[in-house]
């Protein structure tokens, strides 16, 4: 029966199911990896979540995302310059998305790090971006106020909302653990253990092997160029 629906509704359904719902799963996976202090897996899942949320917003508003690929900065720019969506993000969230999340973390192509309180930055970024993954204007109007708990925002038919509402969902505990932005109740405080993890990329430590590596595996040109400059005396 769904195939007989108007094309614009089917495209919207594609945006929700392929991008927003999948991003919700990536977000929970990022929280699980963070709790286990698996930094590369946390950053990669977080990057994937934000990327898919941005692509959902682009698609729902019929803004082409064909050239966005994994570039979060480009995704944000296309949304903000489209004239179709007024997506105001806090400075902290913009910095987290542009500076901390990038597509090169999965293979340790570049060095990375994380702190034990970074989960708060991820939760805030998801809360801020995800509320635009709907054509309902009401979630767009929610704003964060310094010193006050985040307003509860629910997206109709949302995957996260279904998980929050189901006490038996196996993903619920991972979603709600020390989460001040999603849940059934307003949470004013979270308790997190401070820690720090960092890894230097092998090519940062040994840039002299760059040409040998490039004979065997693909590296993005900007990454290769950066290490080529780095290895110069």
How far apart, in whole angstroms, are the C-alpha atoms of residue 213 and residue 76?
Answer: 32
- Is residue 198 classed as helix, strand or coil in its secondary structure? strand
Q: 34 to each of 30, 50, 120, 129, 193, how far by Cα in Å?
A: 6, 16, 11, 20, 12
Domain residue spans of the chain? 2-199, 201-233
Query: For residues 30 and 42, is the Cβ–Cβ distance under 8 A?
Result: yes
pTM of structure: 0.93
pLDDT-above-70 percentage for the chain: 97
- Is residue 70 classed as helix, strand or coil in its secondary structure? coil
pLDDT digits over 133-168, tens only? 999 999 999 999 888 899 999 999 999 999 999 999
> Does residue 104 surpass a pLDDT of 70?
no
Enter the DSSP assignment of 132. T
For tokens 């590596």, the residue is 213
How far apart, in whole angstroms, are the C-alpha atoms of residue 119 and residue 30?
Answer: 9
In this prediction, residue 1 has a pLDDT band, given cuts at 50, 70 and 90, of very low
């Amino acid at each position: 029966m769904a195939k007989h629906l108007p094309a614009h509704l089917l495209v919207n359904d594609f945006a929700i199911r392929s991008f927003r719902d999948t991003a919700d799963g990536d977000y929970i996976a990022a929280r699980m990896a963070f709790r286990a202090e698996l930094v590369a897996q946390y950053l990669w899942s977080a990057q994937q979540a934000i990327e898919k949320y941005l692509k959902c917003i682009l698609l729902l508003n019929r803004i082409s995302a064909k050239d966005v690929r994994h570039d979060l900065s480009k995704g944000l720019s296309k949304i903000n310059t489209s004239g179709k969506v007024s997506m105001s993000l806090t400075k902290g969230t913009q910095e987290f998305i542009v500076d901390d999340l990038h597509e090169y973390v999965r293979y340790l192509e570049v060095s990375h790090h994380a702190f034990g309180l970074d989960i708060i930055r991820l939760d805030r970024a998801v809360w801020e971006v995800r509320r635009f993954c709907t054509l309902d204007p009401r979630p767009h109007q929610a704003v964060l106020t310094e010193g006050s708990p985040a307003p509860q925002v629910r997206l109709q038919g949302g995957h996260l909302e279904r998980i929050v509402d189901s006490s038996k969902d196996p993903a619920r505990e991972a979603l709600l653990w020390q989460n001040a932005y999603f849940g059934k109740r307003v949470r004013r405080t979270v308790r997190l253990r401070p820690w720090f993890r960092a890894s230097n990329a092998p090519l940062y430590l040994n840039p002299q092997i760059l040409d040998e590596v490039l004979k065997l595996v693909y590296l993005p040109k900007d990454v290769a160029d950066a290490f080529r400059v780095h290895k110069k005396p």
